[in-house]
Amino acid sequence: MEQGISRRGLMAVAGASAVLASCGGTSPSDDKSTVGIAGPNNPYGINPHAPPAALTNVAFAPDYVTVIRIDSPGAWRFTANHASFGIDAGNNTPEARLAQALRILRKTGPGKKLGTLRPGTPDGEDRIYRHPDHGNDPNAGYDRDDFRDFAFASQHELFVYYDNPDVTLQAGNLLSFSHFLVNGTDRADENDSFVVERVPDAQLPASLKGKLIRIKNYNTVKASDGTFRRRDPKVESDAARYSMNFHFTVPASRPIPMVLDPDVGNGYGGRP
C-alpha cells in the first residue's frame, strides 16, 4: 500500500524550500536532514551536473533501468513508486534505455503501478527485479513505494519522472548530495557515482506531460590514489549510503522549491 508523504512531512529549509523525507524507518517529523543540504554550486563529492571527468576510466554499461514515478495525487501530497527492469536484450545504448523507460512510463500511471509490469502479465516487461523477502506472495516485491529498498549492487540508469505538468525543474539544480542521513547523523558518503541530466520535454511522447530526468549510477568507489573503480557489493566496507536530494518546484501564488530527500544505498544491502 502506498504511503503518501503528507503536508505534515514538509519541513522548511533556509529560504523558501521544503524537504520531503523518505518513509523508510524514520518519521518525516523527526527528520534532521534539512541541515546542510548541498546546493548545485556546492556538491558533496562529484558534482552530479558536471561531465563525469572523474569517472572516465569506468565504462558505463548498466545492468538495469530503474524507473521512479513521483506522483502528486492531491494537494501537498506525493507518492514515489520505483522498480528495476532488466535492460532490453542487445539494446544497452543511451537511446534504447530512454526508449525502454518511456515505454514503461506509458504503461503505468494513476491506478497502475510499476510492479504490474512483471513478466506474464498483459503489459509485462521481459525482466523486472523481485526483492527476495516477500515469502510466497506471487504479487509482491516487484516494486517499492516511498524509496524503501532503494539500493543498488550494480550499475543502473535511473529515470525519475515527475508526473505533474505544473512541476518545474531548474537546470543545474536537479540533484544534490548532503552530509546528513534522514536520521540526522552526519554520516552520508560523498557522491562518487551519480551523474544527472534533464531529458528535454520534446523527447517525451504526448501522453507524458510531466518532467523527466535520467541519472547514471556508475556504482563506483574512490580509491586512495584518487582514481575510481567499480564497487564490489560483496565487500561490506565498500557499502555506501548517500543522502540524495531531488529538487523541483511546485506551483503556488509564489512557486515553492521542494526537496525530496530519500536515503539511497549504492551497494548498500546488495540489491539488485
- 24 in Cβ contact with 263 (< 8 Å): yes
Instruction: Work out how many domains the chain is built from and give that number.
Output: 1
Pull the grid cell for residue 254.
Answer: 509564489
Domain containing residue 180: 7-266
Whether 2 is in a domain gets the answer: no
DSSP string covering 59-103: ----SEEEEEEEEEEETTEEEEEEEEEEPPTT--SHHHHHHHHHH
Q: What is the pLDDT of residue 30?
A: 30
CA distance 96 to 36: 37
Averages of pLDDT over each 10 residues, the chain, 272 residues:
28 32 31 42 87 91 95 73 93 96 95 93 94 80 82 92 91 89 81 95 95 96 87 75 88 83 57 53
Whether 1 is in a domain gets the answer: no
Whether 271 is in a domain gets the answer: no
Q: What is the pLDDT of residue 233?
A: 72
CA dist 236 → 60, 140, 170, 220, 270 (Å): 23, 28, 36, 14, 9
CA distance 53 to 143: 33
Spatial neighbors of 53 by CB under 8 A, at least 6 apart, are none
Whether 20 is in a domain gets the answer: yes
Whole-prediction pTM: 0.84
Whether 160 is in a domain gets the answer: yes
The backbone torsions φ and ψ at residue 143, rounded to the nearest 5 degrees and listed phi first, read -140, 175
141: left (phi over 0), alpha (psi -120 to 50) or beta: left
CA distance 39 to 27: 24
Q: What is the pLDDT of residue 62?
A: 95
